[in-house]
Amino acid sequence: DTAVSQTPKYLVTQMGNDKSIKCEQNLGHDTMYWYKQDSKKFLKIMFSYNNKELIINETVPNRFSPKSPDKAHLNLHINSLELGDSAVYFCASSQAPGQYYGYTFGSGTRLTVV
Amino acid sequence: AQKITQTQPGMFVQEKEAVTLDCTYDTSDPSYGLFWYKQPSSGEMIFLIYQGSYDQQNATEGRYSLNFQKARKSANLVISASQLGDSAMYFCAMREGRATGGFKTIFGAGTRLFVKA
């Protein structure tokens, strides 16, 4: 049973399209995150939700909108996709937002905008 | 400002030998957590080890240990008895408390480890 599952694993789309990435965790964790990993492997946090409440909202274009219908799900919707959005997007979860908890990551979604 | 520094973009180690991956950090928060993650070529991120800022002893998990030097703000990962499967990208990460960092985990640039047979 996959702990943090993301779909799709690969996403190829044209500029200007709107797309969504879904994430679900079955660990009973309270906190979920979206990270972006660029072509140089640099990981940057985008958003974090704790029990459906947005607690971290980094400086990302407002074309990116997270949605958490319940604490087990955190989806990422991207409007008007641009070439620079091409990256690997990781969903992750942790027991709580505090500094003591390691993350469990999903397997990533490789987004390619052409 | 970058708060996690990994100065070794790439490292080579002979199979069965030990290797140390360097990590230094910067924070003014007295309460923080330090983490190491492994990313194999398949792409997934795997949590390896955690060290709390108040922990007196260095963390260990199997062949992984974290050499925590608080005064020097370093949190090096030591992998003993390297195996071919240890070849991967390794990320050091830090999470500060709510007041300073809002519980964000920030990652270093990573070190790519190559284990030679």
Query: Given an 8 Å threshold on Cβ–Cβ distance, is A105 in contact with B89?
Result: no
Q: In this predicted model, what pLDDT tens digit does every residue of A4-28 receive, in sequence order?
A: 999 999 999 999 999 999 999 999 9
The average pLDDT across A69-89 equals 96
Q: In this predicted model, what pLDDT tens digit does every residue of A29-44 receive, in sequence order?
A: 999 999 999 999 999 9
Query: Given an 8 Å threshold on Cβ–Cβ distance, is B95 in contact with A99?
Result: yes
Could you tell me if B77 and B91 are in contact, meaning their C-beta atoms sit under 8 angstroms apart? no
The average pLDDT across A46-63 equals 88
Look at residues A111, A114, A103 and name the one whose alpha carbon lies nearest to residue A37. Answer: A111
Query: Given an 8 Å threshold on Cβ–Cβ distance, is A103 in contact with B45?
Result: yes
- Which of helix, strand or coil describes residue B70? coil
The lowest-confidence range among A50-54, B67-71, B111-115 is A50-54
Whether the pLDDT of residue B5 is over 90: the answer is: yes
| Closest partner CB to A99 (pick from B39, B91, B103) | B103
Q: What per-residue confidence (pLDDT) applies to B115?
A: 98
Residue A35 CA to residue B41 CA, distance in Å, equals: 18
Residue B100: band (very low, low, confident or very high) from pLDDT cuts 50, 70, 90: low
Pairing between β-strand A87-94 and β-strand A104-105 as defined by DSSP bridges: antiparallel
Q: Report the gap between the CA of A16 and the closest CA in chain B (Å).
A: 27
Q: Report the gap between the CA of B108 and the closest CA in chain A (Å).
A: 8
